[in-house]
Chain A
Amino acid sequence: MSQEAMGKERWAVEAELPSLAKTLSQEKIDRYARASGDFNPIHVDPAFAAQTPFGGTIAHGMLLLAYLSEMLTAAFGRAWLAGGRLKVRFKGAARPGDVVTARGRMQRAKGERGICSVECLNQQGEVLVVGQAEVKL
């Protein structure tokens, strides 16, 4: 069987992508700020963030997308890096202490591309990020 056929077979409709979970901390958020250069005080200044409607610091949205990207890299390899598409909405904030789970499911094929639902949830099952990813199968 060709590698392409194996890929299509592996990712049958409704197949779950291998999920991953990360525990957030302020130290990890600060580390991401240094790596990305995004020092918005809502992420890194607890005193400032306490005065906002969030009541405390929150993780960068792009950090949550990094978790989705890791999951998609593990699932699809190079196909995610070359031709991968992601379309998501941010629905909730992730905070220090939260356990963020990135998960996804193959929804359907569109031509030679697979379309997956993807989301990030916190430990209460609240949706933080939701959307779709597309990869060539």
Chain B
Amino acid sequence: MSKAIEALEKGHQLSATSFVLDEEAVIRYLEAVEDEALPRLARAEGEAWVPPMAVAAQALRSLMEEMTLPAGAIHGSQELEFVRPVEAGERITCRAWLSHRSQRAGWWVLAVEMEGADESAQPVLAGRLTVMVPG
């Protein structure tokens, strides 16, 4: 069940989620963001890579299945590290936890850390998201 993000305690571990971005999803994403560089590079290297921001966006989406952001929430900052390229069709599992929770000037300031790993539990992505929520 989805909970309001500001209701979560610092240290709260979100349930692990997993997803697969298949070739169709990659094509849909590339068309949406009009990315010409990744297909050119992937063709040159003979690979079927997923755009790194598609992996990050899907990871964030999967986290949002367990927590909700109220209207007026602001995406304040984003940190990402791409450990290695992800191939279309790979299953990625994400783990995340609330690493910061404070209240300042009428806003909750919340940070979520996340890690994405492949089926061998090897990291492919890490990140930190900061959200400001009125309250």
Which of A8-16, A71-79, A104-112, A119-127 is near enough to bind chain B? A71-79
Q: Is B75 touching A83 in the complex (CB atoms < 8 A)?
A: no
Interface residues on A, range: 35 or more
- Contact A37/B58 with A61-B75, A69-B52 known, Cβ cut-off 8 Å: yes
For A3, what are the chain B residues with a Cβ–Cβ distance below 8 Å?
none
Residues 49-70 of chain A, each 1 if its beta carbon lies under 8 Å from chain B, else 0:
0001100000001110111011
Q: In the complex the two chains form, what is the Cα distance from A36 to B30 in whole Å?
A: 11
Residues 72-88 of chain B, each 1 if its beta carbon lies under 8 Å from chain A, else 0:
10111111111111000
Q: Is B53 touching A35 in the complex (CB atoms < 8 A)?
A: no
Question: Which residues 15-68 of A have a CB within 8 angstroms of B?
Answer: 22, 28, 31-32, 34-38, 40-42, 48, 52-53, 61-63, 65-67
Closest Cβ neighbor of A32 among chain B residues: B32
Residues 98-135 of chain A, each 1 if its beta carbon lies under 8 Å from chain B, else 0:
00000000000000000000000000000000010000
A70: which of B33, B72, B79, B80 is its contact (CB, 8 Å)? Answer: B33
For B69, what are the chain A residues with a Cβ–Cβ distance below 8 Å?
40
Interface residues on B, range: 35 or more
For A67, what are the chain B residues with a Cβ–Cβ distance below 8 Å?
33
Min distance, Cβ B31 to any Cβ of chain A, angstroms: 7
Q: Does A84 contact B (CB under 8 A)?
A: yes
Q: Does B45 contact A (CB under 8 A)?
A: yes
Q: Does A6 contact B (CB under 8 A)?
A: no
Q: In the complex the two chains form, what is the Cα distance from A22 to B34 in whole Å?
A: 8
Q: Is A86 touching B71 in the complex (CB atoms < 8 A)?
A: no
B78: which of A53, A63, A86 is its contact (CB, 8 Å)? Answer: A86
Apart from A66-B35, A89-B77, what are 7 other A-B pairs with CB-CB below 8 Å? A28-B32, A41-B71, A42-B71, A63-B32, A66-B51, A84-B82, A85-B80
A residues neighboring B (CB under 8 Å): 22, 28, 31-32, 34-38, 40-42, 48, 52-53, 61-63, 65-67, 69-71, 73-74, 77-78, 80-90, 131
Would you list 16 pairs from A and B whose C-beta atoms are within 8 A, ordered by A residue? A35-B32, A36-B54, A38-B61, A65-B80, A66-B51, A67-B33, A69-B51, A69-B52, A70-B33, A78-B41, A78-B85, A83-B82, A86-B80, A86-B81, A87-B80, A90-B76
